[in-house]
A and B are shown apart, each in its own frame.
Chain A
Amino acid sequence: MTADAGSGAAETYLRLMAEAQLRQAPALAGPGPYRHRMWLAATTLAATRAVDPVAAWRLLADFETAAALRTGDIHAALRGAHPPQWARPTGASQPAAASPQAPAAVPIGATLPLPPEREGWYGELRLLCLARTDSEAVITVATRWVGQARRSATRRPRHAPFHQVGAVDDGGLSHPGSLWDMGIEDGRDWWDCHLGLTPALPAGARWLEVGPGAGGRCVRVDLAAAGAPPVPVSVAPAEPASAAARLLDRAGEELLCHGPASAAGGLPLGRRVALLIQDLTGSGALPSDAPAVRRLAALGWRLGLDLGAGSYRDRPDGRDPPGRLPPAWASLLIDGDARDGPDGVAPFAANLPGVDGVTLALAGLRSARDGVTLHVMANGWVPAGLGWLVHGTPPGDEPADVSLSWRARDSAGRWHLVSGSSWGSKQGMIQLHLTPPLHPAARSVEVIVTGTRHEIRAVMPLDWMDGAPR
């Protein structure tokens, strides 16, 4: 099948779905992810480029206008004039343009105590790494409340500790700091964020002093990171996989991370994944017996889900259907509910080689009992469809970016998948939330980034700040 023919078949699929939906006289409920069946199908086929995203959006806009003309709600008639970012020729779901300089990170691994705030509560900033490009500089941070300087019945504040800090470089240039991505005020134990420094650091800067903290204390950051052992990084050819196959693999990861009953775009995730399969196979983007479909069918069988991909039909006797589970999936079926992760902060840094035109730097992680937050500075990539700035945001209403796949495996053999992300800061910082938590005995974690042609593996040491984790 030629690309044009394939695209034509997928577009026909979408248009026939619109006809079927219109016959049911849909009343569009208004803003919200995946508000109707057509939205899910269009974003699915746009994500895999089975249909050009601009064409998919036009189809959606036409469908919504057609529905509006039949219900009297004419607001939707104008939606097509305001395409979302993903449907613009330079949309965010397409790979962002990479700037010439790749991000680079150096570990810090220091704690900046903060002066008392309200009712004597004082906190601290755990400074993990400094990550920078030619135009941006940030310090990845884990912050928390530590204690109370005086007796008071006041409960711990629900917001994150906040104290104005910045940096001064060895040339005496001041770099005021702004804390980004603190998340909502939810009274959690730790907040993961980053401190953006403005202006960016001069090319020849050798060190920084970050502060002031409590009592005017500062933390000195050696930009050369002398003495830090090199991180083992390997590059190997990636197993070829179409965008549609990668999207289904992502769907499987979401099932494993969130569970089939979790809600995604107004649907139980299991139901949504079944529709993804239906759209990708029905449109001809994937054959119904493609390995990715069979993998997902096998996972559905293990989870007790009928994903409409032959998982039950193939084996009415209840035995495992064909389709081997990837090791990471098998691991999550065993350890997915673990809540035994170490509490600790590991300030490792690694500058990864480019993959599919994307350059990345790993800038430390924080481990908790229920998962891991991995800091990444990216140039040329955003994890569209994986959340937006707020921890735990479920899959959004835009086509997922499937250009890169992330997995991790700790030294105890436990695999970890990305359950969500937080991104959108102008510095290109991304927090990837990994599940399940690290194994208590883990001493290192291998981060695996897979693009369309290459797979990068970096083994990061878990050298916990302040000694052994709790």
Chain B
Amino acid sequence: MSAPWWAALRPAETRISCGPSQHVLRWADGRLTAADHPDAEGELVLAALGGGKAECVAVIEAWGAHRDDLDVLALGPRSPADELTVAWDVVHDLRSALTHRPGQLAGPGRPGWAGRPPPARPAAQRPRSMPMRRLSPEAERAQARRAALLSLFALGRDFQLALSGEVAAAWSAPGRPPDSPAARPPAPRDLATAQPALTAALTGRLAPAAAAWLGIEPDQVRATPHQGAGWGHTQRDGATLRAALPVSWLARVWAAGFPVVGGHLVVDVLDAAWPRAQVRGLAEPGAEPAVLSIHHDGEHWTVAAGTG
């Protein structure tokens, strides 16, 4: 696996209100950048010293804080059909309900989030009122953290997938050099503690893909994180699919949007540069993976002619 984990992910871009202006946020090559804030890190230092914090910089800070947050995988999307409804005005209300302190969460004054959210479903409801119960400082911090995460989801689906990929990459097998400049390998103890969350994250994302691949019920998918060498293994056991895949599969394959292409379950990425990738895929459980060249046609990943 030579390509960095994010090589096959589509770059994402959106606009948000930052002060009186509309600024562009862009995620590409494994990192989030604000084009209008070339020294975002310097602005963060100034904010920590009591200065104001621009919205773009606050988002970058929140992104960094959640880059290895397993809650991202617990809350985030599982499949293309799994859409999150995070309306921008809801995020705004959530953040307003919190006690704002200088340099915390949204910066001084009223948050200026007005970027176009992903299309909200008609049924989406705004909170009519936020809970007014007094929170402990710990609970307040937790709520602020949750609101910050929801604000990242509100950036749109491509950002949701990118953030999920970053988290998965951060929790991939320790010891390997991290692909992303920001990623850091988790400590062994943390990795053991995180196994239930990683198992669920893997199962929750493999299940819908495998159901489509094999025509089985998603509940029949049993996935575990693969921690040895190689891509792992799969086995059909009656109606059940048992699979062991590395957590990095979530970052390199699932987040890129090609868990199943051309009737193959993609298990590994050999090389990639959006919108093309060379992958290894299984025609059926237990089979040897075949090398496939795939490309994104603007809507879907498909197998390029002459491969497979």
Closest to B208 in A: A23
Q: Does B123 contact A (CB under 8 A)?
A: yes
- Which of these, A4, A19, A70, A71, contacts B203 with CB under 8 Å? A19
The smallest C-beta distance from B148 to any residue of chain A, in angstroms, reads 12
Whether B83 and A80, one on each chain, are in contact in the complex, defined by CB atoms closer than 8 angstroms, is no
Q: Does A69 contact B (CB under 8 A)?
A: yes
In the complex, chain A residues whose CB is within 8 Å of the CB of B218: 20, 23
Whether A15 and B125, one on each chain, are in contact in the complex, defined by CB atoms closer than 8 angstroms, is no
In the complex, chain A residues whose CB is within 8 Å of the CB of B124: 72, 74
How many interface contacts (CB-CB < 8 Å) are there between A and B?
98
Whether B200 and A15, one on each chain, are in contact in the complex, defined by CB atoms closer than 8 angstroms, is yes
Whether A19 and B85, one on each chain, are in contact in the complex, defined by CB atoms closer than 8 angstroms, is no
- Which of these, B75, B126, B195, contacts A12 with CB under 8 Å? B195
A4–B71 alpha-carbon span in the complex (Å): 21
- Which of these, B75, B133, B143, B219, contacts A62 with CB under 8 Å? B75
Whether A80 and B146, one on each chain, are in contact in the complex, defined by CB atoms closer than 8 angstroms, is yes
Q: Mark A299-316, 1 if CB is under 8 A from B, else 0.
A: 000000000000000000
Tell me whether chain A's interface is mostly helix, strand or loop, or mixed: helix
Whether A19 and B123, one on each chain, are in contact in the complex, defined by CB atoms closer than 8 angstroms, is no
A8–B133 alpha-carbon span in the complex (Å): 33
- Which of these, B121, B127, B135, B140, contacts A75 with CB under 8 Å? B127
Within 8 A of B (CB), among A175-232: none
Q: Mark A68-94, 1 if CB is under 8 A from B, else 0.
A: 011111110110111100000000000
Closest to B141 in A: A81
In the complex, chain A residues whose CB is within 8 Å of the CB of B199: 12, 15-16
Q: Mark B97-137, 1 if CB is under 8 A from A, else 0.
A: 10000000000000000000000110111110011010100
The smallest C-beta distance from A375 to any residue of chain B, in angstroms, reads 34
Q: Does B19 contact A (CB under 8 A)?
A: no
Q: Does B59 contact A (CB under 8 A)?
A: no
Closest to B195 in A: A8
In the complex, chain B residues whose CB is within 8 Å of the CB of A410: none
Whether B83 and A70, one on each chain, are in contact in the complex, defined by CB atoms closer than 8 angstroms, is yes
Q: Mark B189-231, 1 if CB is under 8 A from A, else 0.
A: 0001101110110011001100000000011000000000000
- Which of these, A4, A78, A83, contacts B131 with CB under 8 Å? A78
Q: Mark A1-37, 1 if CB is under 8 A from B, else 0.
A: 0001000100110111011101100000000000000
- Given A22-B78, A62-B75: A81 in contact with B86 (beta carbons within 8 A): no
Closest to B120 in A: A72
Tally of contact residues, B, Cβ under 8 A: 44
- The 3 A-B pairs of least Cβ separation, nearest first, read A15-B200, A72-B124, A19-B204
Within 8 A of B (CB), among A31-72: 62-63, 65-66, 69-72
7 examples of A-B residue contacts, CB within 8 angstroms: A8-B195, A8-B196, A11-B196, A12-B196, A12-B200, A69-B84, A74-B127
A436–B221 alpha-carbon span in the complex (Å): 47
Within 8 A of A (CB), among B268-292: none
Q: Which residues does B use to contact A, with CB under 8 Å?
A: 71, 74-75, 78, 82-87, 90, 94, 97, 120-121, 123-127, 130-131, 133, 135, 139-140, 142-143, 146, 150, 153, 192-193, 195-197, 199-200, 203-204, 207-208, 218-219
Whether A74 and B135, one on each chain, are in contact in the complex, defined by CB atoms closer than 8 angstroms, is no
Closest to A69 in B: B84
A22–B207 alpha-carbon span in the complex (Å): 12
Whether B85 and A81, one on each chain, are in contact in the complex, defined by CB atoms closer than 8 angstroms, is no
In the complex, chain A residues whose CB is within 8 Å of the CB of B87: 72, 74
Whether A74 and B125, one on each chain, are in contact in the complex, defined by CB atoms closer than 8 angstroms, is yes
Q: A75-B125, A78-B146 known; 5 other A-B pairs, CB under 8 Å?
A: A12-B196, A18-B74, A70-B83, A72-B125, A81-B146
Most buried by B among A4, A22, A69, A70: A69
A11–B194 alpha-carbon span in the complex (Å): 10
The smallest C-beta distance from A174 to any residue of chain B, in angstroms, reads 37
In the complex, chain B residues whose CB is within 8 Å of the CB of A22: 78, 204
Closest to B70 in A: A62
- Which of these, A70, A73, A81, contacts B84 with CB under 8 Å? A70
A8–B150 alpha-carbon span in the complex (Å): 27
A170–B140 alpha-carbon span in the complex (Å): 52
In the complex, chain A residues whose CB is within 8 Å of the CB of B133: 82
- Which of these, B90, B143, B196, contacts A15 with CB under 8 Å? B196
